[in-house]
Amino acid sequence: MPAPTNHLKAALKAGKLQQGLWLNLASAYSSELLAGAGFDWLLIDGEHGPNLIPQMLAQAQTIGTRCNVVVRPPVGEVWMIKQILDLGVQSILVPMIESAEHAAQMVQATRYPPEGIRGLGAAVARASDFGRVKDYIASANAEVCLLLQVESRAGLAALPAILAMEGVDGVFIGPSDLAADIGFPGQLEAPEVQAAIDDALRAIVASGKSAGVLTFDPAQARRYAAMGVTFIGVGGDIGLLVNAAAKLLADLRGA
């Protein structure tokens, strides 16, 4: 029996639009709730949410197969990638990629030898059903979906080399950090920022890899989809809760 099919990877390879939510609450309960909402994927965020390995595991377990699971580690470190993959997570978004060398290291980290350097601990890992998936090691590499996040001028400079790299399934543009790095912190709508984002997304789409981006504006999300962007973050658990609470209170007081 081989590793489970990564349906997100297959959809992105086929050019199908995949829309999802960021999970920052570090709550298995709210993650399970959102897993039934109908989004294509949920991203457990370890970079800007208090999600460590135990919280990632709990949320991956409660989400189950109702929705594709993506994990963003705090940083792109080999040991961290290994632990996330051993949880059974097959799709990873690595933040702050600024060089071809770092990108290549992340590809290596997601692959078993001889293609990579992932440690062979599958016999005790949830990923292989604790050794019950006998062909896991032989088939796991092909089911990993590696998305790399470019969000700085250095990352944009490295983008052509990253796009030529085998083993990278897609590149995600981080709008907030990119805006700050090019001199417009908090000004995502600045023409210079939008031009940089659009140019990068068009280059990714043209390369044949999946292009990704985050926007909480539905109109902007539709525009990106029309450009051929297939991995789009359209909201997050914290934003949904904060905005709904504020709207409810405003409606009550307005009434």
Number of folded domains in the chain?
A: 1
Residue-level pLDDT at 117: 98
The DSSP string of 217-245 is -HHHHHHHHHTT--EEEEEEHHHHHHHHH
Structural domain includes residue 34? yes
Average pLDDT, rounded, for the chain: 97
Tokens at residue 161, please?
């080399």
Q: Which residues are catalytic?
A: 48
Residue-level pLDDT at 8: 98
Structural domain includes residue 84? yes
Structural domain includes residue 1? no
Per-residue model confidence as pLDDT tens digits over 145-160: 999 999 999 999 999 9
Residue 93, φ and ψ in degrees, nearest 5? -110, 115
Residue-level pLDDT at 47: 97
**Percent above pLDDT 90 for the chain:** 98
Per-residue model confidence as pLDDT tens digits over 218-239: 999 999 999 999 999 999 999 9
> Which residues fall within 8 angstroms of residue 28, CB to CB, at 6 or more apart?
55, 58, 59, 61, 62
Residue 225, φ and ψ in degrees, nearest 5? -60, -40
- Bridge partner list, 231: 18, 212
Asked whether residue 29 carries a pLDDT value surpassing 80, the answer given is yes
Structural domain includes residue 232? yes
Asked whether residue 123 carries a pLDDT value surpassing 90, the answer given is yes
Structural domain includes residue 128? yes
Residue-level pLDDT at 167: 97
Summarize the confidence of residues 91-116 as an average pLDDT. 98
237-242: list long-range contacts, CB under 8 Å, 24+ apart.
237/21, 237/22, 237/23, 237/24, 237/25, 237/27, 237/30, 237/31, 237/34, 238/22, 238/24, 238/25, 240/21, 241/25
Query: Which structural domain range is residue 59 located in?
Result: 7-254
Per-residue model confidence as pLDDT tens digits over 175-220: 999 999 999 999 999 999 999 999 999 999 999 999 999 999 999 9
Structural domain includes residue 176? yes
Asked whether residue 255 carries a pLDDT value surpassing 80, the answer given is no
Q: How far is CA 97 from CA 87, 201, 204, 240, in A?
A: 23, 15, 15, 28
pTM reported for the whole predicted model: 0.96
Task: Please state, in angstroms and rounded to a whole number, the distance separating the CA atoms of residues 130 and 121.
Answer: 10
Residue-level pLDDT at 168: 98
CATH number at residue 39: 3.20.20.60
Asked whether residue 126 carries a pLDDT value surpassing 70, the answer given is yes
Residue-level pLDDT at 98: 98
